[in-house]
A and B are shown apart, each in its own frame.
Chain A
Amino acid sequence: MTETYYDLLRRQGISRRSFLQFCSLTAASLGLSQVGAQEIAHAMQTKPRLPVIWLHGMECTCCSEAFIRSSHPLVKDVVLSMISLDYSNTLMAAAADQAEEQLESIIRDYKGKYILAVEGSSSLAGDGIYCMSRGKTFIEKLAHVAKDAKAVISWGSCASWGCVQAAKPNPTQAVPIHKVVTNKPVIKVPGCPPIPEVMTAVITYYLTYDSIPPLDAQGRPKMFYSQRIHDKCYRRPHFDAGQFVEKFDDDGARMGYCLYKVGCKGPTTYNACSAIRWNDGLSFPIQSGHGCIGCSEDNFWDKGSFYKHLPTILPPGWGGIEATADKVGLTAVAVTGAAVAAHAALSAIKQTSSKSRNDKLAAKE
């Protein structure tokens, strides 16, 4: 019989108590009830382990790094158990031919049953030659593995949106994986990197309910991406009070005021950082005094400064790199005002001259 997650965890010396703790924790983060925790526990004890193939495209491995640094020991173990035994370039023990053999055997043995998790974007320029391993382009490999996958998870902003590689001018034509894998459901788990607990929860959800979690219109799991950082931010009262940090060394910064004016992207960023936080719930960027940079949003590199509230809206040649909506708008208002004034003056002159002409004509008569 195929091994279950529970068997695996027990073999690694994890107590039943810790196992149940993990189930409750994950159920809570998924927004499930007590019953959800029981269902997760049941699934992990009875269902065969879900094979996960983890592919790397153009990325920085920060998703994997975040994963393995999850400080909750159990989450880490689950995560590692979930992926390292199958295929992951970074974490697996096997290398070269052995590794490729393993990949092929998973595709063969678990046809239509494994999950494909992709970290990194695909490169389309030059038929994909900017991202190759073992003589094959990444798009080829991706298409090959995705063909028999049950579902595809795009880990991180690279796989979900394109991230830094897709930033202007995007020389390698980096695209998110849903542009390459078009015939499978793709679960987007954006973030640079995504939160480890979110990653585990997504896989756990799939194992428990045998279906992809409910997704929002942009393909992200609703339970983690349906609200903004801003909505659950612990500094939100300062926002409502109108107490803002103006500079990173002012009194407001010391008192933990809202970082809205120093460019915090919390109000436009959909992620669970302010609820789940990082490093076992220790902190998250805003808590450490730096605004959110909006890393889980599409195109976040190309929106101008991380430290300005308004993004740059014109290309650099047009009005410099500081051309915000306010500058463009105020210029338009000023130009219109000047044009109106000029037109009014000209109208007045014309009116007066025609009047005096009329008067002259009248006088002649």
Chain B
Amino acid sequence: MKIEKYSGRVTEGPLENVYVYEAPVRLWHWITVLMMIPLAVTGYLIGDPPSVTGAGEATFNYTFAWVRIIHFSCAMIFAVAFLMRVYWAIVGNHYAHSLFLPPVWRLAWWKGLFRQLAYYLFIKKEPDSWIGHNPLAQAGMFMMFVLGAVTIIVTGFALYAQQWASGQSWMLLFGWVHCLFGESQAVRTVHHLAMYYLLVFVILHIYMAFREDIMGKETVISTMVNGIRAFKTKDH
């Protein structure tokens, strides 16, 4: 099997199984999935909380604070998992850094991107076979997931830091974000919009994963479970 450098396209058969996603990558993926669900739900609730009127004294209620604690805790796990993933991009295998550093300076990568785009636009009938992410998926992952996640993590920590006075604790680390945006309402708005940006990514990502798994030549969903990119047919 021959694989084109920089785009990951299989140029010559026979197709063989490849170990693509190492255990830390898979672990990170599913932790992120697990965390994003409560994060989106509690995040939305923080922006538009239901009111628990008529629940008696405030002393005996801690409803909204629980929503926020869940949000903060999940966010911490999400961020730590992301940090670990960045670390793995450096020390992991060849496929581990493809979503952080798409080789945009390579012609083969761009050609691959347009081949895949043409396939999705029904211009090109037959799909190509890819090891790892195809260039279009890489671009999507980088633009939507990596940038979205970095934005939501940085703005999130900046908002979290607000419970400390300026120059203290987390504020020391993330106070600059508020200066960058001018004022903290802008940080909130960006954080809020980043959630929708990631939700749009999630829709596209799940759709593409299922579509490729059903219509494409290679396995996609099981790859994120066992790490192995297998092909349904052996001929290229």
Chain A residues within 8 Å of B, Cβ to Cβ: 216-218, 222, 225-228, 231, 237-244, 246, 250-252, 257, 260-261, 265, 267-268, 270, 294, 297-299, 303, 309-311, 313, 325-326, 328-330, 332-333, 336-337, 340, 343-344, 346-347, 350-351, 354
Contacts and interface: CB of A to CB of B under 8 A. Distances in A.
Contact of A340 (B49, B182, B203): B203
Among B50, B59, B67, B184, the most chain A Cβ lie within 10 Å of the Cβ of: B184
Contacts of B196: 325, 328-330, 332-333
A261 B207 contact: no
B182 A298 contact: yes
Interface stretch (B15-23, B159-167, B222-230): B159-167
A244 B51 contact: yes
A242 B61 contact: yes
A237 B58 contact: yes
Query: What are the nearest 5 A-B pairs in CB distance?
Result: A329-B196, A241-B61, A242-B63, A242-B64, A237-B58
B63 to A, nearest CB: 4
Contacts of B203: 333, 336-337, 340
A243 B61 contact: yes
A241 B49 contact: no
Contacts of A268: 183-185, 188
15 contacts: A218-B178, A225-B166, A226-B165, A237-B58, A241-B61, A242-B55, A243-B58, A246-B51, A261-B48, A297-B184, A310-B192, A329-B193, A344-B207, A347-B211, A354-B125
A273 B200 CA distance: 40
B1 interface: no
A260 B68 CA distance: 14
B189 to A, nearest CB: 5
Contacts of B162: 228, 231, 267
Contacts of A231: 162-163
A242 B215 contact: no
Contacts of A217: 166, 175-176, 178-179
B91 interface: no
A343 B207 contact: yes
Contacts of B59: 237, 241
Nearest to A346: B122
Among A265, A329, A344, the most chain B Cβ lie within 10 Å of the Cβ of: A329
Contacts of B163: 231
B213 to A, nearest CB: 12
Contacts of A330: 196
A344 to B, nearest CB: 7
> Interface residue tally of chain B, by bracket?
35 or more
Given A222-B166, A242-B52, A346-B122, A326 B192 contact: yes
Given A242-B50, A336-B203, 6 more contacts: A218-B179, A243-B51, A243-B55, A261-B48, A333-B203, A350-B122
A240 B65 contact: yes
Nearest to A227: B165
A251 B199 contact: no
Nearest to A230: B162
Nearest to B201: A336
A303 B215 contact: no
A337 B206 CA distance: 11
Given A216-B166, A297-B183, A347-B215, A325 B192 contact: yes
A215 to B, nearest CB: 9
A347 B214 CA distance: 11
B80 interface: no
Interface in B28-62: 47-55, 58-62
B204 interface: yes
B96 interface: no
Given A299-B182, A329-B199, A242 B192 contact: no
Contact of B64 (A240, A252, A351): A240
Contacts of B199: 329, 333
Given A240-B62, A336-B204, A303 B185 contact: yes
Contact of A242 (B67, B165, B167): B67
B25 interface: no
A340 B206 CA distance: 10
B185 A252 contact: no
A363 to B, nearest CB: 21
B49 A242 contact: yes
A257 B211 CA distance: 49
A114 B49 CA distance: 51
B53 A246 contact: yes
A252 B122 contact: no
Contact of B58 (A241, A298, A344): A241
A309 B185 CA distance: 10
Interface in B68-112: none
A298 B62 contact: no
B195 interface: yes
A122 B218 CA distance: 65
B49 A298 contact: no
A245 to B, nearest CB: 8
Nearest to B176: A217
A68 to B, nearest CB: 29
B185 A297 contact: yes
Contacts of A340: 203-204, 207
Given A333-B200, A336-B200, A311 B189 contact: yes
